Amino acid sequence: MNILGRISIIGLLFVGATLATTVFAQGSYEQFKGEIELTRAMAQLGREVIVERNMQLNREDSNKFWPVYNDYRAAIDKVNDRRIKLITSYADSYVSGNLSDDKALGLLNEFLSIEKARLKVKRKYVPRFKKVLPPKKVVRFFQVDNKLDAMVKMEMARNIPLVQ
């Protein structure tokens, strides 16, 4: 990976870490909605650079790929909205020190539901990507996307404290 790719990844990780840290510092989803949108915009630009560099698309494939990609990211962002609300809900409980057993189990159930929703979006978009790209390029895209998601999740996990 070249230096630009590394810088983009570092930027994307910073954005993920900033989001989680902001949630725990401010506590309330309402308090940092504007920061969420700015963070998302920065993360999306970083993702696009990384995807573009790694996909190695010719002009024709690129013209077909990006509209599907944008729709895919919009669908994933809706799932990510739920993730942000989940993290915020946990942060509110964590900061206030009153996370009940019922609330903890509710958070766990929502987490599992979010993971299921993410997989549903990915499965929905595989055929759409296959209509515009050869199979190996589709697999490559989902590999890149998965690696980016894993890095962001790792950074968020580092910044979100364990249940007490």
Higher pLDDT, 36 or 87: 87
* 122-126, 148-152, 155-159: least confidently modelled range: 155-159
Q: What is the pLDDT of residues 15-71, one digit of tens each?
A: 555 555 555 555 555 665 566 666 777 777 788 989 999 999 999 999 999 999 999
Domain ranges of the chain: 3-158
Kindly tell me if the per-residue pLDDT of 14 is higher than 80. no
Phi-psi region of 27 (alpha: psi -120 to 50; beta: other; left: phi over 0): left
What pLDDT is attached to residue 15?
52
Q: Which residues contact residue 128 at a Cβ distance below 8 angstroms, ignoring those fewer than 6 apart?
A: 68, 71, 72
Dihedral sign, Cα of residue 113, residue 115, residue 121, residue 123: negative
